Amino acid sequence: MRRTLFEDDHEAFRDSFRTFVQAEIVPHHDAWEQAGIVPRELFATAGRSGFLGIEIPEEYGGGGVRDFRFNAVMDEELMGCGAAAAGLGLSLHNDICLPYFMAYCNDEQRARWLPGIASGELITAIAMTEPGIGSDLASMSTTAIRDGDHYVVNGAKTFITNGINADLVITAVKTDPAEKHKGMSLVVVERGMEGFERGRNLDKLGQHAQDTAELSFTDVRVPVANLLGGQEGQGFAQLVGNLPQERLSIGYAAVASARYALGLTLDYVKERKAFGTPIGSFQNSRFVLAELDTEIDIAQHYVDACVRALDAGELTAADASKAKYWCTELQGRVVDRCLQLFGGYGYMTEYPIAKAFADARVTRIYGGTTEIMKEVIGRSLGL
Q: Which residues are catalytic?
A: 246
Q: Give start and end residues of each alpha helix (H) in the chain.
A: 8-24, 29-35, 40-48, 68-80, 84-91, 98-104, 107-119, 235-271, 283-311, 317-341, 352-360, 370-380
DSSP 353-367: HHHHHHHHGGGGTTT
Per the CB < 8 A criterion, the answer to whether 173 and 235 are in contact is yes
**Residue 275, Ramachandran bin (φ over 0: left; ψ between -120 and 50: alpha; else beta):** left
CA 27/CA 128 separation, integer angstroms: 33
Per the CB < 8 A criterion, the answer to whether 168 and 125 are in contact is yes
Residues ≥6 apart with Cβ < 8 Å to 76: 14, 252, 256
How many other CB atoms are there within 10 angstroms of residue 147's CB atom?
Answer: 11
Strands 212-223 and 150-161: antiparallel
CA 257/CA 327 separation, integer angstroms: 10
Per the CB < 8 A criterion, the answer to whether 345 and 273 are in contact is no
DSSP state of 170: E
Strand-pairing partners, residue 172, are: 186
Strand-pairing partners, residue 170, are: 126, 188
Per the CB < 8 A criterion, the answer to whether 201 and 215 are in contact is no
Cα 28 from chain centroid (whole Å)? 20
Say which amino acid occupies 354: A
| Helices and strands, number each (H, E), in the chain | 12, 9
Strands 184-190 and 143-147: unpaired
CA 180/CA 103 separation, integer angstroms: 23
